[in-house]
Structure 1
Amino acid sequence: MNDKALLLVLLGGSSMAALSSGWDDPLDPVAIITEAVASKRQPILRVTHEEGHGGWQFYDDAEPLTVPVVMSKDQLLALDPSLASLKDLPVGWEAIRESRSGKWLRSRARP
C-alpha cells in the first residue's frame, strides 16, 4: 500500500477496492485478458471497467475465457494502441467493437 492509500484509509476514506478506478491508478497497474488476446490469436473486441482491483477486463468474445491472463496496462497499449481512447471509460461501463479496426462503442455494462 502506498502512502496516499494508507493516508486515505487512516483518515476514514474509502476501502482499497474503491480507491482503484482510473486507468493510471498506481494501485491497479494490471488488467485481466483472455489467453487468445495475450497470444495475439484474437483481437480485443470488448472492454469492461468494473470497480476494484482487476476491474479492467479485455475480451475477444470469440473464445471462452478458460484461463484468465494478467497483463500490465502498458503492455496492453503496446498490443492495441486503440485502447488509449478508452482510458476514461467509467466504472460500470463497457466498450465493444466488431473488428480490430472497428470503432469503439461505449455503453453501460450489462448486469
Structure 2
Amino acid sequence: MDFPFMGVEFSEEDKKMLREMGNLGRLADVTFKNGEPFKAFISVDPQTNELIALGADRVRVPDEIKGVKLSEQQKTDLAMSKTVAIENMISKAGNPFNAHI
C-alpha cells in the first residue's frame, strides 16, 4: 500500500487501519481515471486482498437499526463514516444491547 490508489496517498495511520480493520475508517477524496473526483469508502476485499472503492453516493443509511430509529444527525454521521453510539438495540435473541457502529 505504498502507492496511490485512485489518487489517494495513504498515511501510516491509513495503512494501519486498512491492515487491521479492513477499511480506511473515513471517507476519501478519490479520482477516476478521467480525472473526475468523488468521495468514497476504501476497503480491502477479503477474498482478493485488493483495494476497492465504493462511492459515498451509493451508500444508504437505514432509518432504523435493530429497533432503534436513528436521528438525522446519526444518519448524517454514519454517511460521513463517523462512529455513532446507538443504545437500546434488540438482538436476534431479544436482548437489549448498546454498540458503537
Task: Name the TM-score class by shorter chain.
Answer: under 0.3
Q: Which has the higher strand share?
A: 2
Higher helix share: 1
| TM-score, L = length of structure 1 | 0.24
Q: Return the TM-score normalized by structure 2.
A: 0.25
Larger Rg: 2
Per chain length, whose mean CA-contact separation is higher, i.e. which structure has more relative contact order (CA < 8 Å, sep 6+)?
1
